[in-house]
Amino acid sequence: MTTWPFEPFVREIVGLLVRGEYSKLETLSGGVRLSAADVARAVQDYGVQLALPPKEREPALEVVPVLNSEPPRWSVHVPLWSVQEGPSDLTLELSILERSEGHYQVEIDDLHVL
């Protein structure tokens, strides 16, 4: 399994989502594409309580590097978990941009059922 340098940052974002800290997500992403209300609505519409997976069962990030992007950019899909289902059909889609070595910016592209 590939480990990406921005993975801890992505896991922090998932933690904010699971804890329902939607306003912090909006601030972190600058509200690009999805607002706090949009994220809250997507979670509510799905109808489960999100949860962090057990550390040993954390799903791998699905990462696609965006070719020839400057600054470096990746499209990241994060499979989510719920209390009711364990691994769920809900996926968080992010764009991660490298601002400087070890520092990243996030855009929340979508939160939907795959």
DSSP the chain: ----TTHHHHHHHHHHHHTT-HHHHHHHHTT-S--HHHHHHHHHHHTS-EEPPPGGGPPPPEEEE-TT-SS-EEEEEEEEEETTTEEEEEEEEEEEEEEETTEEEEEEEEEEE-
Residue 82: domain span: 7-113
Q: How many domains does the chain have?
A: 1
Residue at 2 is within a domain: no
Q: Tens of pLDDT along 25-49?
A: 999 999 889 999 999 999 999 999 9
Residue at 109 is within a domain: yes
- Provide the residue-wise pLDDT of the chain in tens; the chain has 114 residues: 678 999 999 999 999 999 999 999 999 999 889 999 999 999 999 999 999 998 888 888 999 999 999 999 999 999 999 999 999 999 999 999 999 888 999 999 999 987
Q: pTM of the full predicted structure?
A: 0.93
